[in-house]
Amino acid sequence: MPESSPRYPASLPVGIVVNGAAVRLEVDARESLLDVLRERLALTGTKKGCDHGQCGACTVHLDGRRVLSCLTLAVQADGRSVTTIEGVAGPGGELHPLQQAFVDHDALQCGFCTPGQVMAGLACIDEGHAGDDDQVREYLSGNLCRCGAYPGIVAAVRAVADRREAG
């Protein structure tokens, strides 16, 4: 009698804190965090660009660190905290300083990459990688912009980093 292959559950229970709100749901073991955020939780600010981890449009924070949600399984977020672009603005809907800096520095055109750029920019600042333009460019090099808004993006990140550093 041939040995049978092990059976795995089709879905698994997951508990995630998303933008400060506890969420419990059943997810397919193969389901990406990106698909759960967009399709199940209707948080469509996180974009599906390449779906291969090459463009950065799906960047979110997992326990305060940036991750590509298209390459992160939803089950990996179990018991953890996820922040999406929808969780960045203030409680009254006021823009985060980096979001405002994107507006002020013309750091967006079509806007498709903007959520991922903002999330990566926040991590860049929080992790101390915004000391100069070259450092920002290097740190954000995994986030692609088809419109070429890179000068504005770098300027926005540097402006917020400089203000934070100045106190």
Which residues, 6+ apart, have CB-to-CB distance to 39 below 8 Å?
none
Considering 87, 119, 139, which residue would you say is the last residue of a domain?
87
Using only C-alpha atoms, the chain has a radius of gyration, in whole angstroms, of 18
Instruction: Examine residue 137 and state whether it is found in any structural domain, yes or no.
Output: yes
Same domain, 75 and 141: no
Length of the chain (residues)? 167
Instruction: Examine residue 42 and state whether it is found in any structural domain, yes or no.
Output: yes
Residue of 95, 89, 107, 91 whose CA lies nearest to 150: 107
CATH number for the domain spanning 116: value is 1.10.150.120
Q: Strand, coil or helix: what is 121?
A: helix
pLDDT (0 to 100) of residue 51: 96
Same domain, 54 and 111: no
Structure-token match 């089709």, residue found: 10
Residue of 16, 85, 98, 100 whose CA lies nearest to 45: 85
- 78-102: pLDDT as tens digits: 999 999 999 999 989 999 999 999 9
- Provide the domain count of the chain: 2
Same domain, 52 and 15: yes
**Cα(62)–Cα(84) distance, integer angstroms:** 9
Residue span of the structural domain in which 28 resides: 11-87
Which residues, 6+ apart, have CB-to-CB distance to 65 below 8 Å?
123
- Judge whether 105 and 152 are in contact, CB under 8 Å: yes
Considering 53, 87, 121, which residue would you say is the last residue of a domain?
87
Kindly report the three-state secondary structure assignment for every residue of 32-55: EHHHHHHHHCCCCCCCCCCCCCCC
Same domain, 115 and 48: no
pLDDT (0 to 100) of residue 10: 83
Regions of the chain where pLDDT drops below 50: none
Same domain, 41 and 103: no
- Judge whether 31 and 71 are in contact, CB under 8 Å: no
**Cα(90)–Cα(119) distance, integer angstroms:** 15
